[in-house]
Amino acid sequence: MAGIADRESLVKKASYLRIAARDLSEGMKSGNFRSLYRGQGIEFSGVRDYIRGDDIRSIDWNVTARMGRPYVKIFEEERELQIFIVVDSSLSMQLGTGNRTKYDTAAEAAALVTIAAEMNGCPVGAVFFDGAIHFSCAPQLGREQTMLILTRLDKLPEKSQTGSVLGNALTGAGKLLKKRSLVFVLSDFRNGEWEKPLISLAHKNDVVAMRLMDKFDEKLPSIGTVPFEDTESNLTMLLPTSSEKFKKEWRIQNESRTKLWRELCVKHGVMPVTLNTTDEVLQVLSSVFNQKATAK
């Protein structure tokens, strides 16, 4: 299985991620959630570093001359889209049968959204958790905020807490957000008691629920009767992985959980998105901003 220790630092990959996030940043403005923008207005609110691809007409030449590097103007309406990211790093997320774990995949997605938000001059905040909440920050603008989030995505707790406090993380996100925001929830949703907090969060925000999946969730390898430990509860059981009946039941249970999750999301105006460890993360995120909005 893929290991956390083998992950390439997201901070080291920041330059590559910035290139990858360029198209995504455009999708934020023109795609599915464009209604959260009100368009560029006339109220000047500050400046930010020039990023290749910015309209040169937005350059603040006075600040550029004073600072010795290019800056562009930010208008209040450019900041209307506020982003918030909820990332699950519980033990079940640290498993994977390929080159990366569910958490690796979620962290890359969170990094791309964070960088794309910065490119658009959007405030971005986050909460990261496993069996306890180990990082949270209110939405803020700027590259420093981006690098803080990338650093914390890299820095998992040395000893992960068992269980998952997804419900608490969603409730906490709702308390941090003072205005309507676009919220990404990245989790495998394998614990309980997250449904009501998710519904509550969706009442006041636009929520994208990204369910992290691995082929292990759908099909077990045939390796005989072996002990399995539930990383969330520490419960150990002997499972007959070579049994066709057992493998069928495993697949059915996974399909059932996924179906119930999707139905709940659609019913309450949450956009459900499945993200597999073998998927191209940027492609999946791009589709989020292009597909038809879920009815509220």
Q: Is the per-residue pLDDT at 30 higher than 80?
A: no
How many domains, the chain? 2
Helix-then-strand count for the chain, H and E: 9, 10
Dihedral class, residue 247 (left if φ above 0, else alpha if ψ from -120 to 50, else beta)? alpha
Classify residue 293: in a domain, yes or no: no
pLDDT in tens, 242-278: 677 766 776 778 788 899 999 999 999 999 999 999 9
Classify residue 185: in a domain, yes or no: yes
Do 56 and 173 have their domain in common?
A: no
pLDDT in tens, 132-164: 999 999 999 999 999 999 999 998 776 667 778
Q: How many CB atoms lie within 10 A of CB 137?
A: 16
Classify residue 74: in a domain, yes or no: yes
Classify residue 296: in a domain, yes or no: no
**Pick from 79, 108, 140: which residue ends a domain?**
79
| Whole-angstrom distance, CA of residue 196 vs CA of residue 16 | 38
Q: Are 89 and 110 in contact (CB under 8 A)?
A: no
**219 vs 118, more confident:** 118
Do 268 and 232 have their domain in common?
A: yes
Q: Are 106 and 212 in contact (CB under 8 A)?
A: yes
- % pLDDT > 90, the chain: 50
Question: Which of 2-16, 83-97, 146-160 has the largest mean confidence?
Answer: 83-97
Do 71 and 209 have their domain in common?
A: no
Classify residue 294: in a domain, yes or no: no
Do 195 and 270 have their domain in common?
A: yes
3-state secondary structure (DSSP) of residue 80: coil
Do 123 and 180 have their domain in common?
A: yes
pLDDT of 40 reads: 44
- % pLDDT > 70, the chain: 79
Whose CA is closest to 169, among 203, 206, 125?
A: 125
Which domain CATH number covers 201? 3.40.50.410
Angle between helices 281-288 and 14-30 (to 10 degrees): 20
Do 56 and 118 have their domain in common?
A: no
pLDDT confidence band for 3 (50 / 70 / 90): very low
List 44's β-bridge partners, or say none. Answer: 75
Classify residue 271: in a domain, yes or no: yes
**Pick from 25, 53, 79: which residue ends a domain?**
79
**Pick from 26, 52, 79: which residue ends a domain?**
79
3-state secondary structure (DSSP) of residue 107: helix
**141 vs 99, more confident:** 141
Q: Are 17 and 8 in contact (CB under 8 A)?
A: no
pLDDT of 220 reads: 66
Q: Which two tokens stand for residue 155?
A: 């820095």
pLDDT of 12 reads: 79
Do 235 and 154 have their domain in common?
A: yes
Strands 124-129 and 83-88 come out as parallel
At 196, the amino acid letter reads: K
Q: Which residues contact 46 (CB under 8 A, 6 or more apart)?
A: 73, 74, 141
Do 118 and 237 have their domain in common?
A: yes
pLDDT of 198 reads: 97
pLDDT of 7 reads: 55
Do 31 and 46 have their domain in common?
A: no
Classify residue 24: in a domain, yes or no: yes
Range of the domain at 58: 38-79
Classify residue 69: in a domain, yes or no: yes
Do 153 and 72 have their domain in common?
A: no
Q: Which residue, chain included where needed, has tokens 């949703």?
A: 189
Do 165 and 58 have their domain in common?
A: no
pLDDT confidence band for 296 (50 / 70 / 90): very low
pLDDT of 250 reads: 66
- The predicted model gives 32-57 an average pLDDT of 70
Q: Which long-range contacts (CB under 8 A, 24 or more apart) does 255-263 make?
A: 257/189, 258/211, 258/213, 261/189, 261/209, 261/211
pLDDT in tens, 193-228: 899 999 999 999 999 999 999 987 777 666 666 666
Say how many CA atoms lie within 13 Å of 221 toward its Cβ. 6
What is the sign of the dihedral through the CA atoms of 140, 143, 147 and 153? positive
**117 vs 295, more confident:** 117
Q: Is the per-residue pLDDT at 4 higher than 50?
A: no
pLDDT confidence band for 76 (50 / 70 / 90): low
What does the longest C-alpha to C-alpha distance in the chain come to? Answer: 72
Q: Strand (E) positions, the chain?
A: 44-49, 71-75, 83-88, 124-129, 133-140, 182-187, 206-213, 225-229, 236-240, 271-276
Backbone angles phi, psi at 242, to 5 degrees: -85, -10
Average pLDDT taken over every residue of the chain = 83
Whose CA is closest to 177, among 201, 153, 198, 147?
A: 201
Q: Supply the pTM of this predicted model.
A: 0.76
Do 129 and 64 have their domain in common?
A: no
Q: Is the per-residue pLDDT at 85 higher than 60?
A: yes
